[in-house]
Amino acid sequence: MLDPRKIDFGMMLMALEDRSYESSSWIHPETGAIEFCSVDDDPEEFAERGLVQIEPLDGSESYEIIEGFVSGVRHRGARERLEDAIRGRGAFRRFRDIVYADPELGPRWNAFRDARMRDAALDWLVDRGLVTAEAAEAARAAGAAPEIDQIRAVLLDIDGVLTVSWEALPGAVEAYDALVAAGLEVALVTNTTSRTRAAIGDALRGARFAVGDEQIVTAPIATAAYLAEHHPGARCLLLSSGDVAADLAGVHLAGPEESEIDVVLVGGGGPELDYAALNRAFGALRDGAALVAMHRSMYWRTDAGLQLDAGAFVAALEAAAGVEAVVVGKPARGLFEAALATLGAGAAEAVMVGDDLDSDVLAAQDLGLTGVLVRTGKFRPEALERSAGLPDAVLDSVADLPAWLRGPEG
């Protein structure tokens, strides 16, 4: 019996894919050596030496591997393009053209195909009695097929996904624990400016989520990262209600007498955004300061109804000073980028889960993350029906996320 560890699977895969009539491939039943028999060689000599001919996979088996790959592509747009491409004549070439033109799909397809071909090679060896089923199983376990999607990081919106009014949603704590147990890196992302990272950490731990403060990325945290990169050392005039200064580590906040302003920084709406503050900001913008907004929400909901938020003041400053604000929080890219940087993950390795189709899900998808919408919190079916963009997945709640990430076989 042959030890699968002795087999050069690279050579074996070439043999399985070689469908030419002029040549054939042979494997030595004890050493696992693979030899190619060209038009100039006599195949009978190979048979007499005890070698076993490797029959290439037929076209339908190759097609099944492609179909398997396509059905596992989670980005809906990409999957639909591939499904169209693999119908009818010229399917293989169209498929390869699309896959290899995409910097992410190309390497994923190569890894997927190699894993499936390796499985096919092991099946073939077991069928011929060259390798025992046990040895094949051990070889499969050692060279486990890579996941179709190499998701290793999860970004979770907090309000409406994990909690409502800081109470855990049903199954959310268990889902969070399952993600961590599965070895995924988890960050919690929120546009909020009304609570500090530490206060949010306390509130989440109070709701039984075993999170660390460093996993929480708020709009002020992301804004501090943005300022450090794009306006290092800038003197910032802060217009915000709430306790945001604690999370603006390293940011120079201008005092009341300071006249040289590099950046007007707008946080959350509230009584602090009065005429004097807005007029001072207007003057700074007229003198050339940049306008940076932590988010541009127009209002938020409280028990007393809708309340005017900072987005309205950002719009007023833009109109009056003739400038355009850079926005950091969702749906802008800054918050997602800060969260990915925290986890050390690339966009293609991450999934974003939210209850807001536009700000959480589609915005993340635009950056290359996988986007998952949950039917909790502010979710409304009409938003999904009217939307031009579609999430990669819609789940009833975050409780379904661990199973969805494990995939259909999990």
Q: Which range in 1-9, 288-296, 353-361, 389-397 contacts Mg ion by CB under 5 A? A: 353-361
User: Whole-angstrom Cα distance, residue 379 to residue 360?
Assistant: 11
Euclidean distance between CA atoms 249 and 226, whole angstroms = 12
Whichever of 247 and 355 has its CB closer to Mg ion, that residue is 355
User: Closest approach of Cβ 186 to Mg ion, in Å?
Assistant: 16
Region from 107-115, 155-163, 218-226, 390-398 binding Mg ion, contact rule CB under 5 A: 155-163
Which region, judged by CB under 5 A, interacts with Mg ion, from 204-212, 256-264, 352-360, 389-397? 352-360
- What is the number of other CB atoms lying within 10 angstroms of the CB of residue 282? 15
Shortest distance in whole angstroms from residue 300 CB to Mg ion: 11
User: In angstroms, rounded to a whole number, what is the distance separating the alpha carbons of residues 112 and 372?
Assistant: 23
Interacting residue with Mg ion among 99, 118, 139, 157 (CB under 5 A): 157
CB of 357 to Mg ion, least distance (A): 11
From the list 84-92, 159-167, 172-180, 392-400, the region that binds Mg ion by CB under 5 A is: 159-167
* CB contact at 8 A, 248 and 224: yes
Nearer to Mg ion, 216 or 238 (CB): 216
Binding of Mg ion by 349 (CB under 5 A): no
> Which residue, 219 or 261, is less far from Mg ion as judged by CB?
219
**Neighbour-count burial for 49-78, b at 16+ CB within 10 Å, e otherwise:** eebbebebbeeeebeebbeebbeebbbeeb
Q: What are phi and psi of 31, to 5 degrees?
A: -85, -20
> By Cβ distance, which residue is nearest to Mg ion?
160
Half-sphere exposure of residue 100, counting CA atoms within 13 Å on the CB side?
Answer: 7
Pick 52 or 155: Cβ nearer Mg ion: 155
Number of residues that bind Mg ion (CB under 5 A): 4
Q: Is residue 300 part of the contact set for Mg ion (CB under 5 A)? A: no
The CB-of-363 to Mg ion minimum distance in angstroms stands at 12
Closer residue to Mg ion (CB): 149 or 355: 355
Instruction: Tell me the C-alpha distance between 2 and 72, whole Å.
Output: 33
Residues in the chain: 410
153-157 and 350-354 beta bridge pairing: parallel
Per CB under 5 A, does 159 bind Mg ion?
yes
Contact call for residues 60 and 376 (beta carbons, < 8 A): no
Rounded CA gap, 398 and 188, in Å?
13
Helix (H, G, I), strand (E, B) or coil at 47: helix
How are beta strands 24-27 and 52-54 bridged, if at all? Answer: antiparallel
Distances (CA, A) of 169 to 159, 160, 206, 344, 358: 10, 8, 13, 28, 22
Query: Minimum Å distance from CB 159 to Mg ion?
Result: 4
Supply the minimum distance, in Å, between the C-beta of residue 360 and Mg ion.
6
**CA 228 and chain centroid, separation:** 25
Q: Which pair of structure tokens corresponds to residue 34?
A: 């693979």
Q: Supply the minimum distance, in Å, between the C-beta of residue 353 and Mg ion.
A: 10
Least Å from the CB of residue 355 to Mg ion = 4
CB of 297 to Mg ion, least distance (A): 11
Q: Which of 26, 73, 117, 160 binds Mg ion (CB under 5 A)?
A: 160
355 touches Mg ion by CB under 5 A: yes
Region of 6-14, 116-124, 139-147, 149-157 interacting with Mg ion (CB under 5 A): 149-157
Q: Which is nearer to Mg ion, 96 or 375 (CB)?
A: 375
Told to check if 35 binds Mg ion by CB under 5 A, we report no
Structure tokens at 163: 């909690």
For Mg ion, the binding residues (CB under 5 A) are 157, 159-160, 355
